[in-house]
Amino acid sequence: MNNLLVFFTALAISVAIIPLMIRLAPRLGMVDRPDPRKVHTKPIPRVGGVGIVFGALIPLLLWMPLDEAMLAYAFGALVLFGFGAWDDSHELGHYVKFIGQFIAVLGVVYYGDVYVEVLPFMDMERLPDSIAKPFTVFAMVGMINAMNHSDGLDGLAGGMSVLSLSCIAYLAFLADGQQVVTIAVAVLGGVMGFLRYNTHPARVFMGDSGSQFLGFTLGFLAILLTQDVNSALSPALPALFLGLPIVDILAVFAQRIYHGMNWFRATRNHIHHRLLELGFHHYEVVVIIYSIQMFFIASAIFLSYESDVLILAIYLGVCSLVFVFLTLAERQKWRAHRRHGRSKFAAFVQSAKQHAFFTVGTTRFVAIVIPLAFLATSVLVAHVPRDFGISAGILAVISLLVLIFGPKESIVLRAISYVTAAFVVYLETKYIGQESPVLRDISFGLYALLAVSIWLSVRYAANIEFRTSPLDFLVIFVALTVGIISHNHFHQDALGIMAVKLIILFYGCELIFMKLKGRWNSLKLDMSALITLSVLGIRSLI
């Protein structure tokens, strides 16, 4: 419960601060202007780091015990934020930024006493402090710059950080590493609030103040997790859950050295730049990189106690495949999308996509099934807790008043529909699915059909306003991963199942509101929510 409070506080602070900073950005000079090296074509405020950093630090400072490691982390985060914000407004040189990075990291290593003591292939033999601490400083500064350099496309650095932080939080949770879990959850809240404004086309960039903070946090948590919280984990594991940013920056530096270029002069030879040059669309590049990072994250979770050799072999093998593909594709002048002409197969697929089943049928299915699912759950559930019933009754009264006296399209009704969806998922999973295997299997099948129908509707329905982004892909992956992982832990099983179902229902409700706005289907969803809440309220009193 404390972690949920930390997450939602961080999320709320981040979401609230960023719009204000967007308006202040021109006055502060914190605007990223286009140039030949960059992808965007118009000035974008780079103030997202303010929301990420303060969204994460405020709840941590309010609710976490401040030991030496935590104080060093907070100090380092503020130092990096200060230097990063300075760079975002005045374009500092790399050497000035290095000063801030070393100050932040030296505090963590020498005051917070957080450093790498065991390296891969050492058979748990500890490094002497004279080697371990300088190595840690070098590694953490490298991670800060790796994340800083990966911030090249809308949603890219933020999304990769979400995946890495989620993995760290999960592994720390299994080992009762509460400090690591709470820090990871707080930063996740800050980043998720930022991603609300950073999906393509972005309204804001995180800037150096955000990317340096994320790299610093990931390095700090990786050391705490593998060296302190659970030293039984393979010391090579950070390569997997930190993932692509590490190999990307090493490859870029190698190319710059090979060509005799300045190590620190920005160029367009990062992985995301090379994929763009091959003709992939912006969102396709982000999804491709997310997918590779997801593979690393899944490997880190399921191979966390395997040998260093296996872990590094998987990491280096996948990275090698990525660079082999990029190199061969560039040499063969291969392009992801043909500029002229269309094959017969492509024409057939395009014709099939225009069939009424895709353009109309799937949307109608979603609009019918979700209200029926609401009503069926209110009737079939074996037990309605009293607190749920009271809350449902209050919401039913509010919904009725808004339907009678309020506007036709009300954000209050929409919010009540989402809350009803949460009620339905909880009650159906806990009091129907666990007591009736038959109804549970029917429920799984129905949610699977809903998920497919929502995807088809979003992808192919005519005149649709609902637009997906790499953030949607990221959210769905995290939800599915929670479900799959928690299936192996009985006490967390219900939570994972509920997370997946809730994501599906939320997307379904959003589809109805956006696609069928102003039509009777939207009213039907509102009415079904009203009836469902009323029935739940009455049943809790019986």
Cα 83 to Cα 87: distance, rounded to the nearest angstrom: 6
Residues 6+ apart with CB under 8 A from 73: 108, 112, 114, 183, 217, 220
Q: What was the pLDDT predicted at 475? A: 62
DSSP 402-459: HHHHS-SS-HHHHHHHHHHHHHHHHHIIIIIITT-HHHHHHHHHHHHHHHHHHHHHHH
Residue 182 contacts residue 47 (beta carbons within 8 Å):
no
pLDDT tens, N- to C-terminus, the chain (542 residues):
578 788 888 988 998 899 899 989 888 888 877 665 555 557 888 899 999 999 999 999 988 888 999 999 999 999 999 999 998 888 777 789 899 999 999 999 999 999 999 999 887 789 999 999 999 999 999 999 999 888 878 888 999 999 999 999 999 998 999 999 999 999 998 998 898 788 767 788 898 999 999 999 999 999 999 999 999 999 999 999 999 999 999 988 888 777 777 666 666 778 988 898 888 888 788 889 998 999 999 899 989 999 999 999 999 999 999 999 999 998 988 888 765 555 554 555 556 556 666 667 888 888 889 999 999 999 988 888 887 788 889 989 988 988 888 776 666 777 788 888 888 888 888 787 666 778 877 888 888 888 888 877 776 655 554 455 566 556 656 655 554 454 444 344 566 677 778 878 888 887 887 765 555 555 678 889 999 999 999 988 87
Report, in angstroms and rounded to the nearest whole number, the Rg of the chain calculated over CA atoms: 25
- Bridge partner list, 45: 31
Quick check: bond before 201 cis, omega within 30?
yes
Cα dist from 530 to 12, 328, 393, 523, whole Å: 28, 59, 9, 10
Name the region of 260 (left: φ>0; alpha: ψ -120 to 50; beta: rest): left
Q: What was the pLDDT predicted at 279? A: 87
Which residue spans within 468-516 are E strands per DSSP? none
pTM of the model: 0.73
Residue 53 contacts residue 14 (beta carbons within 8 Å):
no
Cα 532 to Cα 465: distance, rounded to the nearest angstrom: 28
Residue 366 contacts residue 507 (beta carbons within 8 Å):
no
Single-letter residue type at 73: Y
Cα 117 to Cα 136: distance, rounded to the nearest angstrom: 9
Q: What was the pLDDT predicted at 478? A: 61
User: Buried (b) or exposed (e) across 202-229, using 16+ Cβ within 10 A?
Assistant: bebbbbbbbbbbbbbbbbbbbbbbbbbb
- Identify the DSSP state of 224: I
Q: What was the pLDDT predicted at 462? A: 53
Helix axes 282-302, 470-486, angle to 10 degrees: 20
Cα 295 to Cα 237: distance, rounded to the nearest angstrom: 13
Length of the chain: 542
Q: What was the pLDDT predicted at 175? A: 92
Cα 216 to Cα 77: distance, rounded to the nearest angstrom: 7
Cα dist from 464 to 203, 363, 459, 460, 512, whole Å: 22, 10, 9, 8, 10
Q: Which of 148, 322, 282, 117 is nearest to 218 (CA)?
A: 148
Q: What was the pLDDT predicted at 476? A: 57
